[in-house]
Structure 1
């Protein structure tokens, strides 16, 4: 990571360090902070993590302790880390990617222009996934305080911009839409589909569908498994691979067995980053069956960068991510029937999908790290100018 002196000095507050803990927010934070120096932004940052974080980044990003420690200890540690970072160097802009770890340092960072990267309504996501109402209200309060401090807020889609306005009363003039970024070269493997399947020991003669998802409620995996009964009736040898981990693993496996799909649906668990690109490449089509609160869907771009078309439900920012490439990638609705019809059409050829080359070009031109880093840097510059005026 090149952290030489640049035009804008930023302090990036993240959640976890992606090499230590996988997650969509963590992946986007990691990818962005690695790309920003190329767009004229010096990066310093803090995350929940070990001493390895500083070693990975030559001290630019520092871990303030493990995410497993108690919440009060984490908040105190985050505050200390922010204070220590500011004592070393005052940034031009504070960039918040996670409200929880930004909140305890709001007094410490007072007077510095702040930009919040809004990657989803944290409180609402927690409620959908089963959090209690007191916890949800507390999370909403923390978010509200952090977003109110921010002169600019970056959202991944117009859909999430509307949530910021409706749920958090953020004026539209402070919101900027910048989609998530992907290191396209990482997913642009020089492998044919057959080569990728050989590498991963997957069957060559079966249609393969891939879903990369956390195994939690709002991801729509229950609908996807139910839909596979209809898909199997039309394509008896179809194979659905679900990559990811989460609290629903046992329940989903029980659903698979009960539906008689043990030969057609496999739960892969967590797939290491080094195998993910080949997994996308091995699939005939990817599917994102989300039922609620999807701001962007980084996996859509990862799949496209790998040359594999991806079907999405019309939820949140998912249509915005793929519709400019092809309207056929957006299912007409959520639910079992729409998913089944879409997969059947994709696998039998009746639903026209973009080619491998079209998928790759679209991902590179619209979501590659240098493209998005420049757009983020422009928002930082805007926030700094607003701060100077005021």
Structure 2
């Protein structure tokens, strides 16, 4: 494939440097890597004029994510119409159904690929959204997916959601996992040096969880697991990086359990410190209880050389089982997490070495590897034509 032989228009949610979320990080990584795989990138996201300045005009912000929804949808539609007028793409790549939906008539006849990052309506329901809002989101998602001749899912688990809940034919679904800039997390420092840099204790086992502080992440189970672990491992230190609406509730749980010395909520940790934090930890843990398509943090941790324990939820087992099936806990809940961590800290659970973790992340999930796989799905969609 010659360089930039496919012209793509990438519809995202936010611009990662302006609003940090898993979907935004994935979009940001991918649009940076696709040109190397022969895909020219233009894009639109909810964001400020700075987005265009950052990207030499390739990605345009159509306005603040803080605007009212009707204004944002009209702005998204205008931005899409303008992009297509300027340069008709070979493929529309939708990463966020909400901003793709208002332009469905404008983009008609252009092959479309949807990157399915998760059942948006269901996720809001788990977070307590009302059923009317949920129904509207489901209709909107359904309309966008119905238009797509190919849909990319992060895991087999999410492929099943797409085929069962959205009635999408399995022939149109392709599994391509998330991508990470592996080099960014591959720091040339030892765990001891990382701890020194972050002023963390050298002599305590450190467990790390990087998560938004919301319901489905299982952080309550993780805190309860530390309570179970403490009698045998009194010096264990759990660091939880991330922000979210459960911060006060989780802190109260920590205080009630008398775990103030064993569990610390770090709040939001900026990207430049995240790799150091992973490096400093003995092990990461992803305690999700519902709806996990892939878990980018699993790969970030491995790219840093730190093994990661995951619950058997959604796409998490798929992300790590190829490295070692022992990294997948037998079930969700505090008991299983505590038992897994006890095994990891006592050495009875054999964890992969740092180099094996890094190599696995590089071979399977590096931006350049994933961009090539995405480019081939775009080629398929173009060959299939404008409508499936």
**TM-score when scaled to structure 2?**
0.99
Cα displacement (A) at 1:231: 1.2
Deviation at 1:165, TM superposition (A): 0.4
Pick aligned residue for 2:192 from 182, 191, 194: 194
Aligned counterparts of 1:125 and 1:96: Cα–Cα separation in 2 = 18
**When the two structures are aligned, how many residues end up with a matched partner?**
387
Give the structure 2 partner of residue 322 of structure 1. 320
Q: In the alignment, which of 329, 333, 353 is matched to residue 355 of structure 1? A: 353
**Contact persistence 2:8–2:39 (CA under 8 A):** yes
- Change in CA separation of 1:389 and 1:298 when aligned onto 2, cut-off 3 Å: closer
Alignment correspondent of 2:384: 386
Shift of 1:388: 6.8
Answering whether residue 372 of structure 2 is matched by residue 374 of structure 1, we say yes
- Residue 101 of structure 1: how far off its partner (Å): 0.4
1:234 is displaced (CA, Å) by 1.1
How far, CA to CA, are the matches of 2:314 and 2:11 in structure 1? 25
CA distance in 2, matches of 1:321, 1:210: 18
Q: Which of 205, 208, 211 is 1:210 aligned to? A: 208
Q: Matched residues in 1 for 2:108 and 2:324: separation?
A: 45
- Name the counterpart of 1:109: 107
1:48 alignment partner in structure 2: 46
Which runs of structure 2 are paired with 1:158-197 in the superposition (5 Å)?
158-197=156-195
Partner of 1:223: 221
Cα offsets for 1:262-305 (capped at 9, x unmatched): 11101111100010100100000000000000000000000000
Structure 2 CA distance for aligned equivalents of residues 10 and 332 of structure 1: 41
**Structure 2 equivalent of residue 141 of structure 1:** 139
Q: Report whether the alignment pairs 1:290 with 2:288.
A: yes
**Correspondence 1:343 to 2:330:** no
1:81 to 53, 73, 79: 79
Name structure 2 gaps, 5 residues minimum. none
Is 2:120 the counterpart of 1:122? yes
Q: Give the whole-Å Cα distance in 1 for the aligned partners of 2:217 and 2:118.
A: 14
Contact 2:44 2:62 in 1 (8 A): yes
Q: Residue 385 of structure 2 aligns to a residue in which SS? A: helix
Give the secondary structure class of the aligned counterpart of 1:170.
coil
Q: 2:3–2:37: 8 Å Cα contact kept in structure 1?
A: no
In structure 2, C-alpha distance between the alignment counterparts of 1:50 and 1:234, rounded to whole Å:
51
Mapped partners of 2:287, 2:223: distance in 1: 10
* Structure 1 position 232, deviation (Å): 1.2
Distance 2:262 2:64 in 1: 38
Choose the corresponding residue for 1:259, options 254, 257, 260.
257
Deviation readout 1:213-272 (Å, 9 max, x if unpaired): 000000000111111101111111111000001110010000000010011101111100
Please say if residues 44 and 60 of structure 2, whose CA atoms lie closer than 8 Å, have aligned partners that are also in contact. Answer: yes
Structure 1 gap ranges (5+): none
User: Could you tell me how far 1:84 is from its partner in structure 2?
Assistant: 1.0
Return the offset for 1:178.
Answer: 0.2
SS at match of 2:292: coil
Give the ranges of 4+ consecutive aligned residues of structure 1 lying more than 2 Å apart after TM superposition: none
Task: Specify whether residues 389 and 245 from structure 1 end up closer, same or farther in structure 2 by C-alpha distance, changes over 3 A only.
Answer: closer
1:233 counterpart SS class: coil
Partner of 2:277: 279
Aligned to 1:26: 24
Q: CA RMSD in A?
A: 1.1
Could you tell me how far 1:6 is from its partner in structure 2?
Answer: 1.3
